[in-house]
Structure 1
């Protein structure tokens, strides 16, 4: 039990009292570690772990680093349809899959698992989606199902029905979402419902009996920095261009061709690809359009999901990245402000004051612009859309959200393209390597890709 913190042990003891655990633990409280510990304790293997692709990296690292699971015992289900079909015959005890996998590989529901874990279970809340229907109808003969989220009811008590239906339909006992809504909720306009007093009493009783909820305050988790990664895969087309650039010093993508003889230029082009861009004015002029929107989609999922009500600082190295982050925030109608090299000192101060004063939710910035002196300690989370290469700049930007006089947890999230120099950069930062050491590590990565 030493592997678990006190609050995780509390949750583990709870899990012994239910057939299918619901871990409603705040971010940063170690839901993955707790779940793996429970699976191993009950020997309910093989286990299928379902979640957003960007979260699966964290599961893999937890399995390897905390539980010493051999990497060959962890299978990530992805790739072509044929490769996914072959996964039906894979015998690895831990199998990880993106939650949208059902669209291209519905047959997975027929594979025999003893445990199925659904991470970030609020994505099941809409009963009309194919994803929600797939998971609530399938996996019924599994010994142990788990749901994990820090925000089980982000918008309404209605959000919890499909999650608990996946877990165990007997918990709420209603035939479907619409019967649940009809019996326990009151319609107050054309499309809106609020829970009745009877409904609230019933739901509170059910959740308290079958789920466990632990906040950061409950866990006594303060004054810590927690690092997380959201890892994603670039499209096959983008990765092909990436590998060709590593090998031949030439970037080819559709009608774009950029040749370079210099490693520094190559690093810059590779980093652009990781964020989904090619900076080529001869093709695009001054309008830089994303060629691969995967990283922006990962950011969008965070903003609409687990960071929905958080105050956020987003760091991005390039102005074209900031531009498209701004467009995304505008589309999502999130109040925000941008600080780049073109923003005056007075405007920067005004934006920071607005952020500190809760007039805007998101501040997105170039690292060099707020490297020193700025206090942005009202932020709950720091997200690196792209990380500065230098260790000093990175550490200085990390400190912008720190408030030494308040007991709190600082969460730092890196958006990282899998199997690219972005992973090398973040690894180097964690090891606190110098910029020169990081460049050497990047060179080694590129040589490996060129083989």
Structure 2
């Protein structure tokens, strides 16, 4: 296929060429992969600035997305790709193959840094936000070799999925601490102050006055943001909430666990050792079942399954994609419906051919870089997630450019439970995310060109 870039795609490509270190906060569906690949071939074959490129990506994206883009576009077909995936032996063989671009999944970054002599002069971090934790091994490993490569591009649509604290490690990989400081402690001290705390134990931080604007200003020269609605004709989207109610007896069990963090059963108790564990257990109960201390599944109610049955029946054979939260969710759904789980490249192909009527998937399994819009336009969230990033990315598998139908996203919510809080939390986080994106949004083709 002949590649005729949109104006915004040329703008983003030129931004990469002009900035040895940069972050592209591109909204879902804007073509970040083809943009980056186009910049790479110019740097490889026109400017001769780089000779060996490493792409770090989520596993499924590393397996399929980058190579498929090269196969899709005429101007990219001559690029030689080596996928550094699989067993250690397979990874070592892949590193020894002659190629232009080497692609590795992010889980193996630590291994690569430890056992391979670093000879990459350009690094692309696809889904930069997966390096948001400064304590993670992948961040520490890549930071160690950061002085050894002269060009780096960070790609993401959700740079601050939880708070602006998430930005420090991501920007540090780009500029080595030039803008937000070399240490997370200094960044936290300069721009944040303690929020929730218990004496000397600080549980969360909040931005200082005017800190948000100051952070955006610091990043404006190396980060560019684009929202899909500014440049694409996105399909219409309808968000729908389906509320279900537990019986008095079922709600009493829920409230007891919420209050006492324990539900005693003869065969095994349901208990939560801390607030995070309690949140997890309450989400499970809202979905209808929960694991006990022995990992046995305790059935609580079937209200969400009944609502799901109504939605499937109303679809009249139209394909639906159901996102589940826990294995027992998937298993209970599979007991009531004939479903196919989307896990492999072959599953994706069958779905996109319209041959799957009811598909199930965990949002983390399809969260990045996969195009599923050809197979259907209806999403059902059976179990919600606290992760704004997973939520947005999962929805974007169907709600993206190329979707021909209105995308309907159903959320099955159990009234009076943590489900309601999750939805509110996702909305609150989206406000902060939107502020960050808007602050560094590119203005192309007559728009204000300031970041």
Length-normalised TM-score, structure 1: 0.53
Structure 1 residue 182: Cα displacement: 1.2
Tell me, in whole angstroms, the C-alpha distance in 1 between the residues paired with 2:288 and 2:397.
Answer: 18
Q: 1:8 to 1:395 in 2, by over 3 A?
A: farther
Match of 1:167 among 162, 170, 174: 174
Residues 339 and 369, structure 1, Cα contact 8 Å, conserved in 2: no
Structure 1 residue 172: Cα displacement: 1.4
Tell me, in whole angstroms, the C-alpha distance in 2 between the residues paired with 1:133 and 1:139.
Answer: 10
Tell me, in whole angstroms, the C-alpha distance in 2 between the residues paired with 1:8 and 1:80.
Answer: 36
Q: 1:139 to 1:400 in 2, by over 3 A?
A: closer
Ranges in structure 2 where 5+ consecutive residues have no aligned partner: 45-49, 197-201, 238-286, 296-300, 315-321, 360-374, 380-393, 399-451
Match of 1:228 in 2: none
Residues 137 and 166, structure 1, Cα contact 8 Å, conserved in 2: no
Query: Any idea what the Cα deviations from partners look like across 1:333-368, whole Å, max 9, x if unmatched?
Result: xxxx9899xx55x77338999xxxxxx986976699
Q: 1:173 to 1:152 in 2, by over 3 A?
A: closer
Match of 2:61 among 51, 55, 58: 55
Residue pairs, 1:23-422, within 5 angstroms: 23-43=24-44, 44-56=50-62, 57-67=64-74, 69=76, 73-107=80-114, 110-189=117-196, 190-223=202-235, 348-349=309-310, 384-385=342-343, 394=356, 398-401=375-378, 411-412=396-397
Tell me, in whole angstroms, the C-alpha distance in 2 between the residues paired with 1:42 and 1:391.
Answer: 37
- How many residue pairs are counted as aligned between the two chains? 285
Q: 1:401 to 1:390 in 2, by over 3 A?
A: closer
Residues 109 and 138, structure 1, Cα contact 8 Å, conserved in 2: no
Query: Any idea what the Cα deviations from partners look like across 1:58-96, whole Å, max 9, x if unmatched?
Result: 011112222555588211113433443344533311111
Structure 1 residue 27: Cα displacement: 1.6
Q: 1:68 to 1:92 in 2, by over 3 A?
A: same
Tell me, in whole angstroms, the C-alpha distance in 2 between the residues paired with 1:159 and 1:144.
Answer: 22
Q: 1:28 to 1:327 in 2, by over 3 A?
A: farther
Structure 1 residue 108: Cα displacement: 5.7
Query: Any idea what the Cα deviations from partners look like across 1:170-219, whole Å, max 9, x if unmatched?
Result: 54151211111111111112220112224212211122221011111122
Query: Any idea what the Cα deviations from partners look like across 1:311-333, whole Å, max 9, x if unmatched?
Result: xxxxxxxxxxxxx99879xx9xx
Q: Any idea what SS the aligned residue of 1:11 has?
A: helix
Tell me, in whole angstroms, the C-alpha distance in 2 between the residues paired with 1:59 and 1:326.
Answer: 39
Tell me, in whole angstroms, the C-alpha distance in 2 between the residues paired with 1:173 and 1:131.
Answer: 20
Ranges in structure 1 where 5+ consecutive residues have no aligned partner: 226-323, 332-336, 354-359, 372-381, 403-408, 414-451
Aligned-CA RMSD value:
4.3
Structure 1 residue 103: Cα displacement: 3.8
Residue pairs, 1:417-428, within 5 angstroms: none
Match of 1:236 in 2: none
Residues 116 and 139, structure 1, Cα contact 8 Å, conserved in 2: no
Tell me, in whole angstroms, the C-alpha distance in 1 between the residues paired with 2:77 and 2:163.
Answer: 41
Match of 1:21 in 2: 22
Between the two structures, name the one with larger relative contact order (CA 8 Å, sep ≥ 6).
Answer: 2
Match of 1:8 in 2: 9
Q: 1:6 to 1:188 in 2, by over 3 A?
A: same
Query: Any idea what the Cα deviations from partners look like across 1:273-299, whole Å, max 9, x if unmatched?
Result: xxxxxxxxxxxxxxxxxxxxxxxxxxx
